[in-house]
Amino acid sequence: MQEQDMNVQRIESLVSRIEDGSAVYSLLIIRNGYIVYENYRQGKNENSLMHIFSCTKSFTSALIGIAIREGYIGSIDDAILPYFSNWTIENVDERKESLTIRHFLTMTTGLDWNEHNISYTSPENMVNKMLASSNPAKYVLDLRMVLEPGEVHVYSTGASQVLSALIREVTGMRPQSFAQEYLFEPLSISDYDWALAGMDTNVGGSQLYLRSGDMARFGYLYLRNGSWNNEQIIPVAYVHDSKSAEVSTNWALDYGLHWWVNEAREYFCALGSQGQGIFIDLAFNLLMIITGGSDSIPMESYFEGYVRRAAIEGYSEDEGEETETSGFDIRVVMLSIIIATGGFSILLIIIYPNITKKFSSPGQMMHGFLLKKLHHNSNSNYQTIASF
């Protein structure tokens, strides 16, 4: 913490709060490229595959950016229906014909979709009805239009499914296979699982399982504007649009390209139900990964009130008594509550080792950790680099 100029007591307070009956599974904090805190609990470890729930949406978005880089897609402002020209889409009108890929990335399609009016546990929920259909993406595209495209953000796992199907249509590959070649392999992500949803396509909005450290790799890729080991994995312009507030929402945060955005404070995040999250702070070169098993985990307040605050305050040789945090935006707490009660799937990864331990070697620098993992993928090597 001292080396990376973070307030130790602020992080210690977070750890104490988490240990006090919390359902957090893992917490990972990275500052200036260094892993400054990592730990696992509730029987989880660095090799545990976590269901990241709706954090999956941000991975699906990344694949769209990569497909643009590879020439499979022209632009996110392309009309989307021509990419599905071999499908017979129902309820087509001028509004539906004007739908673009961007509308699906920002969840402003205007389609008749509502996944929050019925519990996610009910087979009548639109997400479950979609996934139970023979062609989930067509189920979404067949819906009637009720709003002008681009007017209103309506949270839609259906939009994510259409994007997943788009990857399948333009590449001829399952999204998982496309990700393996162009995203996971370059980042040395080898242990994962991703559920299928009809038509030989992966679930676009949920059901991706990853290790916490690999979630960190993905977050670090975005922190570095899509660059990894001197290779531009995701186009810079696409990353810029992803982390920009494309549309306002009824919740605490704005929305980019399948990322939640707090543009005023220069951070953006992927959020999943039951305490899954990837938080990326550009202003303080800061990354937090959290995973858990309960919708009651206030992950946004953990980030704003403790982790980000620790970076703002910096390390002090004479840190006084800890005071209650109150600087985080109360609206982000409400977002957690709404997400929890609305029930949409999100995954958070939390990792937290002993806060007082110092780095044992320069190998704990995040980029070094990630690059070494590219060439040395054994569990023992991970422990050597990532443990304190």
Which pLDDT value is given to residue 350? Answer: 35
Which pLDDT value is given to residue 318? Answer: 53
374-388 pLDDT tens trace:
222 333 232 222 222
The phi and psi torsions of 139 (rounded to 5 degrees) equal -55, -40
Sign of the CA dihedral 309, 313, 317, 321? Answer: negative
Name the more confident of 324 and 70: 70
Q: Residue 20 in contact with residue 360, Cβ under 8 Å?
A: no
Distance CA(290)–CA(255), nearest Å, equals: 20
Tokens of 217: 């790799």
Q: Residue 99 in contact with residue 80, Cβ under 8 Å?
A: yes
Q: Domains in the chain, start-ordered, CATH in brackets?
A: 8-55+212-224+247-386 (3.40.710)
303-352 pLDDT tens trace:
999 999 999 998 665 544 444 443 444 444 445 444 444 444 333 333 33
214-258 pLDDT tens trace:
999 999 999 999 999 999 999 999 999 999 999 999 888 999 999
169-199 pLDDT tens trace:
999 999 999 999 999 999 999 999 999 998 7
Distance CA(261)–CA(253), nearest Å, equals: 6
Distance CA(281)–CA(124), nearest Å, equals: 38
Distance CA(68)–CA(339), nearest Å, equals: 31
Q: Which amino acid is at 129?
A: K
105-164 pLDDT tens trace:
999 999 999 999 999 999 999 999 999 999 999 999 999 999 999 999 999 999 999 999
Helices (H), 200-256: 212-223, 236-242
What mean pLDDT value characterizes the chain?
A: 85
Q: Residue 369 in contact with residue 30, Cβ under 8 Å?
A: no
- Bridge partners for 210 per DSSP: 50
Which pLDDT value is given to residue 351? Answer: 36
3-47 pLDDT tens trace:
688 999 999 999 999 987 789 999 999 999 899 999 999 999 999
Which pLDDT value is given to residue 317? Answer: 55
Q: Which amino acid is at 8?
A: V
Tokens of 316: 């002090």
- Specify the length of the chain in residues: 388
Q: Which amino acid is at 209?
A: Y
Which pLDDT value is given to residue 364? Answer: 36
How would residue 366 be classed by pLDDT, with cut points 50, 70 and 90?
A: very low
253-289 pLDDT tens trace:
999 999 999 988 889 999 999 999 999 999 999 999 9
